[in-house]
Structure 1
Amino acid sequence: MSLPIITDPQFYLATVPAVLLLGVSKSGFGAGFGSLAVPIMALAVTVPQAAAILMPVLLLMDLLGMAAFRKDFDLRLLRFLLPFGLLGTVIGALLFRVLDAHVVAGIVGAFTLLFLAQRLLFPPTAHSPAPPRWLGAVLTTTSGFTSFVAHAGG
């Protein structure tokens, strides 16, 4: 089986900066702007294609991140957030077959803008109070949902 190689220069003009932004953001220097990678790539390919192209990169980066911080994490926070992330993933899986690619693009775009606005309007500081638990639950469920539908090729 041979995979086609993308030769469109517009694809590379969008993808190279998107992947660089994603890498810088995942390393901690990009202030969360890595979430813009899929929308930037969507300028040249469909959202499902962009997500599918980025998936191996994201998985490798997550594995390296988990290895680097394997002894430094908050188990209580993980136990609180994990069920909500799974809930969002399950909701995404249940709705996956009925969602049109244009709807997925709209959902991912809307939540990207919401997360970006939240980050810009309410940047965390060293002395910021912890956000309310309900907000963590809502944002984590939303993140699980959007991650599933975007990365499942919806």
Structure 2
Amino acid sequence: MPCRAARRVYKALGRRGCFLAIAGFGKTCYGVSFLVIPPTDHGLQLLTQFCGLRHWSWLWIVCGLVTVGSAFLRVGRDWAGFVAAFIPPTVWALAYTVAVISGDYSRGGFVALWYLTSHCGVILWASTVPEYSVPPASKPPRRGTAA
């Protein structure tokens, strides 16, 4: 029974929708973690000079919910989910890059690269993946004809 329900959800979402649902759920959970147990602001001083990390957590939560909501839209209309998924890691990567340049957090360069590759890069790649990219089946050669 659970497998049938999972197949039905997968069929409704498609490949891009599944990616958006998983990414959105992860971003929402990450934002909630900032609300429940706020971490230290190592490398995020650019952000915390405007407001605390509990306030910045809402960026992750709202963008995550928009991303999840876009998972149920048709291909072509799901662009808002990819944009919403892209915003929080870009802001965090920018903050860590500024922290490296200012000398506040030397490890921030690695964290910024991590956000740029494993988050932003994957989101950009997933946004270009077509829903159905299986090549058409080739016809088998006919017997008795020269190629």
Same fold, judged at TM 0.5 (above) = no
Length-normalised TM-score, structure 2: 0.32
**TM-score between both structures, scaled by the size of structure 1:** 0.31
